[in-house]
A and B are shown apart, each in its own frame.
Chain A
């Protein structure tokens, strides 16, 4: 067996394991669908009364929907990578670490496993797209899947890096709540970028999640949808892809730390 063969086998086993575990737990499936719906309806309706998109008649529920899709991806990435912490000292990952696969293969397998779970959860929520005013046939699916998939890999890899470095569950959640969740909040998911707040606009432009949200908006509502960042869909995807690669690299470096 070649080194590459072992690495591919390791990545495949970890990817498959995450998917099997997800689809076997009905509570996780129910939560995956219920939580974003509640979030979308409660926050969406609360804001709908006061929020008006500048220069658009779009309702807030419709504006907020692509943002919630990204939230599904973000939370899925956080909750599937937290298992790394216990799994590595007392669980399956121990066996993976002592096996012939490399640490990079472990990271890639885990990130793609998490990303696949995140995409599955997003797919469940996307069943509601017509109700939010996005007919299924008008959605640019390749663009949407690419944007969500790349964002999911990047966020899962970032989660992995944090999990490996922090090595305790409380610390992990503390960091994720102060790092990843704000990334989503200032991504344009809840409110669009505004010229009146140049600092916030600059933060948004530096935030990779903003490009994923922008690409999702393009895919769901077209190039001219409110909240889309200036530029092309290809640029949005390129930024998210770069983010995914950088996050994977960071996670691989983190995983080289022993034990």
Chain B
């Protein structure tokens, strides 16, 4: 079970690291160790819900100490995949490998080594923060004394030491999420699984959560697999597995995926975007897309297009023209033709 004597993340270390953006940790960008089998490998996993194919032959790997994000909009199959890996659902077909060994989906050997943060709250709202952690530890076979020691440690690391006795239900949303994460880590799992871990968190709590995760991954080789539909969260991962309509459509580092969008993204905001988009297409020989936030054009040397757009249309045809570097949301749109923020 517990393999190292290292404690959780020291409060000092995380405070020190908070000043830097999450993606700036140099060690975290390391490639997975190619000599050893992946910590977790998913092969040809399929799942059907009645007639609907929720997952189709999904395959990917997560290396030791790697932080991998499953990126996709709501309905892409992320949560189903998550439920299968945690053993809550049985796949129709496919394999799961732990350290290169095939294991039955939902096997105890896998469950014992994973820490799970669910999207829905899974703390006992009536019990105190400390008690929740202790019970969580005992579920994974820690003795009462061990569980209490770990709980004290993790509450301190999460900045919750002074709230130890408060019922979990009385904590704010952000603190509850931190407590969920602490509970998932109490038995020192080798794999941390998180389903949309930062939904509902403010910017500061988001940053803090990610610092903790990154620190554990870097220092203790914790393997992390999470689902997300947030571009900023995806940006913080080492590698992404892009999921659309139950299929893996791309994998790669955030940089590599962004590189699939050539050049710049020019966005034109207008009251009546559809006809304007058609006109832009006709005049400039480009292929604009009408999205939730206006008309999008991907183009190399986008800065040259902006003045021509402004001159081509009379004032009032659009509200604004902007140019920026592509984000992962743009990459997702380019790869799948769908909006990341919408429903699949």
Residues of A within 8 A of B (CB): 1, 3, 5-6, 9-10, 12-13, 16-17, 20-21, 24-25, 89-92, 94-102, 258-259
Contact = CB atoms under 8 A, between A and B. Distances in A.
Given A1-B1, A100-B108, A90 B120 contact: yes
Interface string B125-141: 11100010001101111
Given A1-B112, A6-B112, A259-B83, A100 B139 contact: yes
A90 B135 CA distance: 17
Given A90-B121, A97-B88, A16 B139 contact: no
A258 B135 contact: no
Given A94-B118, A98-B116, 9 more contacts: A1-B112, A21-B124, A91-B123, A95-B122, A95-B139, A97-B87, A99-B139, A258-B89, A259-B83
Contact of B112 (A13, A89, A94, A100): A100
B109 to A, nearest CB: 8
B139 A102 contact: no
Given A258-B88, A259-B83, A95 B108 contact: no
A100 B122 contact: no
Contacts of A99: 111, 139-140
17 contacts: A6-B108, A6-B112, A12-B138, A21-B126, A25-B126, A90-B121, A91-B123, A92-B124, A95-B116, A95-B118, A95-B122, A98-B111, A100-B140, A100-B141, A258-B89, A259-B88, A259-B89
B120 A89 contact: yes
A9 B138 CA distance: 6
Interface string B14-40: 000000000000000000000000000
Contacts of A1: 1, 112, 141
Chief secondary structure at chain B's binding surface: loop
B183 interface: yes
A130 B89 CA distance: 53
B90 interface: yes
A13 B138 contact: yes
Contacts of A259: 83, 88-89
Contacts of B125: 91
A95 B183 CA distance: 9
B127 A20 contact: yes
A97 B122 CA distance: 11
Contacts of A21: 124, 126-127
B141 A17 contact: no
Contacts of A25: 126
Contact of A13 (B87, B123, B139): B139
Nearest to A3: B108
Instruction: Give 3 nearest A-B pairs by CB, closest first.
Output: A100-B112, A1-B141, A90-B120
Interface string B89-110: 1100000000000000000100
B254 to A, nearest CB: 28
Contacts of B126: 21, 24-25
B141 A98 contact: no
Contacts of B141: 1, 5-6, 9, 100
Given A94-B120, A102-B108, A10 B90 contact: no
Contacts of A258: 88-90
Contacts of A3: 108
Nearest to A96: B139
Given A1-B112, A17-B127, A21-B127, A98 B88 contact: yes
A207 to B, nearest CB: 35
Q: Which residue, of B83, B116, B123, B135, has the highest number of chain A Cβ atoms within 10 A?
A: B135
Contacts of B122: 90-92, 94-95
Given A9-B141, A13-B139, A100-B141, A91 B112 contact: no
Nearest to A88: B88
A17 B134 CA distance: 11
A140 B293 CA distance: 77
A157 to B, nearest CB: 21
B114 interface: yes
A195 B269 CA distance: 87
Contacts of A20: 127, 131
A258 B121 CA distance: 19
B86 interface: yes
